[in-house]
Amino acid sequence: MVLPRVLQCKRMKHCQLVLRIKPYSPFVLLPCYPTSVAAKWVTVTVTDPDGRRHSLDVQATSTYDAAHLYVTEAKKERAVGLPKPTLATVFEVVTEGKVYRVKGEALQKWIVERRQKWNGPKGYMFTKRPGLV
């Protein structure tokens, strides 16, 4: 009978690996996946009808989360300079040198799905953010 051994991952301190291999080899490197996704700084850019580009730096866990944070900031009354996003808006999210495009329709669908799926304090805080419609 092989008993599982719980090892602390050396690459990431917040996760643990459960090894169930009979002969243990120090040369076997198993993949390590983080249990939580860290937020990264990204730049969200929107082009208004006049062709001017408006950018906002946010800390987000995904491209959709970044676009949703832009919507939250743009819909605040103090955000006078940011254009109000609609379902036709295309958000350009730049992270680590790559450009991702999020369409307004897809973002609204993502927002609705998250509002239905998430419960507890996380879901409550998420419902406080405005949607596109």
List the domain boundaries for the chain: 1-36, 40-127
Let me know: does 14 contact 36? Beta carbons within 8 Å.
yes
pLDDT in tens, 83-125: 889 999 999 999 999 999 999 999 999 888 888 887 777 777 7
CA-nearest of 91, 59, 21, 32 to 82 is 91
- CA–CA distance, 131 with 59 (Å, rounded to integer): 18
pLDDT in tens, 40-64: 999 999 999 899 999 999 999 999 9
Q: Selecting from 4.10.640, 3.30.70, 3.40.50, 3.30.1490, what CATH number does the domain 40-127 have? A: 3.30.1490
Q: What is the pLDDT of residue 5?
A: 45
Task: Quote the distance between the C-alpha of residue 11 and its chain's center.
Answer: 22
Q: What is the pLDDT of residue 39?
A: 85
